[in-house]
Amino acid sequence: MASSSLQSLFSLFCLALFSLPLIVSSIGINYGQVANNLPPPKNVIPLLKSVGATKVKLYDADPQALRAFAGSGFELTVALGNEYLAQMSDPIKAQGWVKENVQAYLPNTKIVAIVVGNEVLTSNQSALTAALFPAMQSIHGALVDCGLNKQIFVTTAHSLAILDVSYPPSATSFRRDLLGSLTPILDFHVKTGSPILINAYPFFAYEENPKHVSLDFVLFQPNQGFTDPGSNFHYDNMLFAQVDAVYHALDAVGISYKKVPIVVSETGWPSNGDPQEVGATCDNARKYNGNLIKMMMSKKMRTPIRPECDLTIFVFALFNENMKPGPTSERNYGLFNPDGTPVYSLGIKTSSTHSSGSGSSNSTGGSSSGGGGNTGGSSSGGGIYQPVTGNPSPDYMSISSAGVTFSTLHFICCFTLTIFVDI
């Protein structure tokens, strides 16, 4: 009887233990391919697993990548480039795109979202702005026609330049000149239950004003932070303050938008840059991305204004991409070199080894192969893999991702007024 009782107690203990809410890692990685020396998509899966990623965001609907992720368990977000927006206002063309680029790969490839356009509202291109919302409607309508609207959501990504007043977070609002275009999109999010995507880069704030922006505050290092005088919320890192600035802006537009969730579709830090790109160093990139990923792995990501909402974040980016135009930093946001070696140690435990043949058994704990300083990929491994032969979205190369310094300057100038360091 005693043994049976103990066994019953143990069973009840196990049941209670496994009934507790578990903190599950939900790490997203941006997988860009603006390079001529990257491994084929099938070879990137071990790298993604090595950093604990469960979600991947593409900048197109590359067939090779979609086939490679079949059966992998990763949740994929695909993108429709800005150059296609005008065409997608035609419901027939939108349905054709969805059938060819999404439905054809289901259910083996787990596609969960379609990002229609990138940073369109701040592109200063009126034709693109006019085409954005109709394209989102058409793509969503195509999903409805295919019976996929319950499993795949439609959204678009914005830069933080959609904000007007941006400091403190409790006083933020959307730019008045964008409200006419933004409000229908927000209504769309409410109706369909889809999130609003933002690209947020604390790096730009530090780069613009390193004397008055605390490096520890932007790198998730221990710091005194600041308290928002309007909300009395305390912030110890800039990324959460940026996210809450957008939440406050949503609240300011109307109470119906309070339930719209935010996804950070891009954030990261370059490991190398031009001399004037202050802060673009391997050590800072290691701290920013390493601390961020460790935070995502160890606890729920919730900001002060939305303590009930888990924040999904996509780190930019998987690889250094040697064909991206712009400053040196643009080609050095990767966690990995093209040969599969880590650019720097993230300081986290890995779950798998990479297949680059470099001899390292820990893809996130090895030493940097070049200090983040090479702009064309690893000199020792650039020819190991077949080059990517697809035609990457020109929007990704020109106005997307980390290179949109011009579109974040307004936010930076407002936000950095009171984030001081001792000088």
Going by the DSSP 8-state scheme, the letter that residue 319 receives in this structure is: B
Q: Helix H segments across 266-404?
A: 282-298, 394-398
From first to last of the 423 residues of the chain, give the pLDDT tens digit: 444 443 443 333 333 333 333 334 479 999 999 999 999 999 999 999 999 999 999 999 999 999 999 999 999 999 999 999 999 999 999 999 999 999 999 999 999 999 999 999 999 999 999 999 999 999 999 999 999 999 999 999 999 999 997 678 999 999 999 999 999 999 999 999 999 999 999 999 999 999 989 999 999 999 999 999 999 999 999 999 999 999 999 999 998 999 999 999 999 999 999 999 999 999 999 999 999 999 998 877 899 999 988 999 999 999 999 999 999 999 999 999 999 999 999 988 644 433 333 333 333 444 333 333 332 222 222 222 223 334 444 444 433 344 444 334 444 434 444 444 443
- CATH code assigned at 262: 3.20.20.80
pLDDT of res. 398: 34
| Domain that includes residue 242, residue range | 22-336
Indicate the pTM of the whole model: 0.82
279 vs 269: CA distance, rounded Å: 9
Burial class (CB in 10 A: 0-12, 13-18, 19+), 248: buried
| 132 contacts 87 by C-beta, under 8 angstroms | no
Residues marked active site are found at 119, 266
Asked whether residue 266 is domain-assigned, the answer is yes
pLDDT of res. 26: 77
Asked whether residue 423 is domain-assigned, the answer is no
* Residues sharing a CB contact under 8 Å with residue 175, sequence separation 6 or more, in sequence order: 161, 162, 163, 164
pLDDT of res. 166: 65
| 289 contacts 269 by C-beta, under 8 angstroms | yes
Asked whether residue 16 is domain-assigned, the answer is no
Asked whether residue 343 is domain-assigned, the answer is no
Assigned token pair, 248 = 């406050």
205 vs 201: CA distance, rounded Å: 8
pLDDT of res. 403: 43
Question: Quick one: angle between helices 238-253 and 176-192, nearest 10?
Answer: 90
Residue 220 Rama label (left phi>0; alpha psi -120 to 50; beta): left
pLDDT of res. 349: 67
Asked whether residue 320 is domain-assigned, the answer is yes
Asked whether residue 13 is domain-assigned, the answer is no
| 262 contacts 196 by C-beta, under 8 angstroms | yes
Q: How many domains does the chain have?
A: 1
Angle CA 304–305–306, to nearest 5:
95
Angle CA 197–201–207, to nearest 5:
160
Per-residue CA distances from 311 to 208, 261, 295, 302 (Å): 27, 8, 11, 6
Going by the DSSP 8-state scheme, the letter that residue 339 receives in this structure is: T
296 vs 227: CA distance, rounded Å: 23
Asked whether residue 110 is domain-assigned, the answer is yes
pLDDT of res. 300: 78
Asked whether residue 372 is domain-assigned, the answer is no
Strand partners, 315: 29, 267
